[in-house]
Amino acid sequence: MSALANHAFAKMNGIGNEIVVVDLRESLRDSRAAVTADDARAVASRVPYDQLMVLQPPRLDGTAAFIRIYNSDGSEAGACGNGMRCVVKKLFEASGEAAATFETRAGLLNCWQGPAPDLYTVDMGPPKFGWKDIPLAEEFRDTRYIELQIGPIDAPVLHSPSVVSMGNPHAIFWVDDVDAFDLSRFGPLLENHPIFLERANITLAHIVDRDHITIRTWERGAGLTKACGSAACAAAVAAARLKRANRTVEVSLPGGELGIEWRERDDHVLMTGTATFEYEGRFDPALFAS
């Protein structure tokens, strides 16, 4: 039987990113045995989500939990900034703490109460720009732009994205209007393009000015989403690399706003935003019976 059977969960929201949080720290002794891809898909069939955040017992001293992150198609993600804010809101309100460190597949993430009671900051760590780190199927010495396009060669619809890893792969296409493209059509094609060895999050980004960027994202393994925190980080970093924006910007997503700072002293990317509790529930064991 699944570790999720009859277990409590919290349905939450990170500026439109639908998140389910499950705390298995007390019920799991072996942090390697938690949740399967089939379990994650079963949950999505009953409680639709973008990411499922599963807290397992900590593996490292000084961390609050080891977190596995599942997309709604059952695949695993290395990072989810909006999901992490939901996790820390739930934990901080229960414990009264104001800071914690978590381990994910992407590494250690430090989180703390933001500049206001309803804001939470996640240190997403340093971005990676090497073509092998993203990873890409072929070498590009300069990942500020790569050769990739959709549409006719002489009149491409989208072309020359910036690529970066924020613990997961991102491709950012620079456009004048993020709503002028059918992202639900182009997103799946680009997510699964052979150049992206582990698929990719696909973002349309418009630089409003040096302090403000607007984005829409097709999220790898989840589809069209109202918000993607790591995509906001990736777009902010990519814009700064191109010297088209400052290192501290506001990023507007369909679901709301995020503050992103690419900190110069240590290269870390900080993401600040809200998180909202929606409801609590308990998984029906019959959901996992098959």
Report the catalytic residues.
Answer: 80, 228
- Identity at 30, one-letter amino acid code: D
- How many CA atoms are closer than 13 Å to the CA of 20, on its beta-carbon side? 27
3-state DSSP helix/strand/coil % of the chain, to nearest 5: 20, 35, 45
Sequence-distant (6+) residues with CB within 8 A of 159 are: 148, 149, 150, 151, 173
Cβ atoms 197, 271 nearer than 8 A: no
| Burial of 54 (C-beta count, 10 Å sphere; 0-12/13-18/19+) | buried
Token pair for 42: 């079963």
241 DSSP assignment: H
Token pair for 78: 């290395």
Sequence-distant (6+) residues with CB within 8 A of 50 are: 17, 18, 19, 71, 72, 82, 219, 222, 225
Alpha carbon separation from 107 to 4, 102, 110, 125, 171 (Å, rounded)? 24, 8, 10, 8, 21
